[in-house]
Structure 1
Amino acid sequence: MDKIYVNGMRFYGYHGVFEEENRLGQRFNIDLVCEMDLAPAGQTDNLDYGVSYAGLYQLTEEIVTGEPVNLLETLGERIASAVLAHSELIQSVTVKVIKPDPPIPGHYDSVAIEMTRRRAQ
């Protein structure tokens, strides 16, 4: 299966289990990998047979900057569902949600979740 990558999207949102996360907000980085057959788009040079990268960015932005949730897992599920609903051409999506500055004591680069969701056959 062919893949479309939209990597390193950065947004500011108000997600987390702690009150200060919901009040102050923080950065979230998102990576998407969409699996689909890219041959029709490649052979015709016609976006009708492909997926708009800008559209994927926009729907991800709306979710991350939108209604606050407690868990990164919930954010990932919402993004995955929206991506699959965005285009019937997308057969599966892998979403990585990265929280670079969680309020956890210690030294580390980030915390993250990654999930893959497939279209029901």
Structure 2
Amino acid sequence: MDKMYIKDLELFGYHGVFEEEKRLGQKFIISLELDLDLKFAARTGDLTKSVHYGELCEKVENEFLKESYDLIETAALNLADFILNEYKIINGVKVFLKKPWAPVKKHLDTVEIMIERKRHKAYIGLGSNIGNKEKNLNDAIHKISEQKNIIITKKSTFIVTEPWGYLDQEEFVNGVVEIETTLEPEELMDLLLKIELELKRERLIKWGPRTIDLDILMYDDLISNDEKIILPHPRMHEREFVLKPLNEIAPYLLHPILNKRVFTLLEEIQK
């Protein structure tokens, strides 16, 4: 991936834990590392295929001064999210934020942090078998789409499926959405759990009835055995109600462990 660097943009801001920092202000120094494809701009001379760095610096300054934060970590994270939301051509950003006059009782040159954010592609499985099932799925999709760090890029049709695991319950309605997000897997999982609670999800019986079920099926090609989130979803390749809608929107998606395309996994369980 090509890079663009903006180094040592000096700004006077009002961020800090102490009241004097917020009242008097101090100098901050910002550097940016941008991931983007520059070949189209290089070959055509078309600035719209690149980032106007003068314009970007103006926008960064305005955003940096818009609010006052206790922590420079918050200020840097806000800038990273702002840049990715403002410039869809940028695939990832590192924000380096220096605080030359850090108020500590030690001799030091500067304090600097780095925050990195990237665009990721993830697939979320949805299911419901209580109440108005299609409405539950649509409500969940709407709540996901409202998040500033998520864009829904594809949505499958809904399918009616038989229950899996615990059979003494109503049929399910299932679907899958493809999203682009700057959230990390744990952040995305926390968000989905929050949406489940808002839609009255209760966990009474394993694989039992539920108003809504939201699962991260895949996140880029990440393989994770974290207790909070296992990726890819450990049983997605066994479930037709997952593979069928996923195949509709991403048939050539490659399972990073099984090394098989979604359409192949679907064919195997339908034999």
Correspondence 1:1-121 to 2 at 5 A: 1-121=1-121
Name the % identity.
39
Q: Give the partner amino acid of 1:35.
A: D
Cα deviations by residue, 1:29-50 (Å, 9 ceiling, x for unpaired): 0000100110010011101111
**Alignment: residue pair count:** 121
Query: TM-score scaled by structure 2?
Result: 0.44
Inter-partner Cα distance in structure 2 for 1:54 and 1:24: 27
Instruction: Give the aligned CA root-mean-square deviation in angstroms.
Output: 0.9
Q: Which has the higher contact order (CA 8 A, sep 6+)?
A: 1
- Runs of 4 or more off by more than 4 Å in structure 1? none
Partner Cα distance (2:66, 2:104) in 1: 24
Whichever residue aligns with residue 99 of structure 2, its letter is K
Give 1:55 deviation, angstroms.
Answer: 2.0
Give CA deviations for 1:35-73 in whole Å, capped at 9, x if unaligned.
011001001110111111012201210122221000011
Counterpart residue type for residue 110 of structure 1: T
Aligned partners of 2:113 and 2:71: how far apart in 1? 10
Deviations along 1:55-103, one digit per CA (max 9) or x if unpaired, are 2201210122221000011001111011111211100000001000011
- Structure number with bigger Rg: 2
Distance in 2 separating the partners of 1:41 and 1:119: 21
Distance in 2, matches of 1:96 and 1:63, equals 15
Give the corresponding residue for 2:261: none
Amino acid at match of 2:66: G
- Give the superposition deviation at 1:27: 0.4
SS of match in other structure, 1:94: strand
Greater strand share, 1 or 2? 1
**How many Å separate the matches in 2 of 1:63 and 1:15?**
13
Unaligned 5+ residue runs, structure 1?
none
Mean CA deviation greater in 35-44 or 58-67: 58-67
Q: Aligned partners of 2:55 and 2:120: how far apart in 1?
A: 22
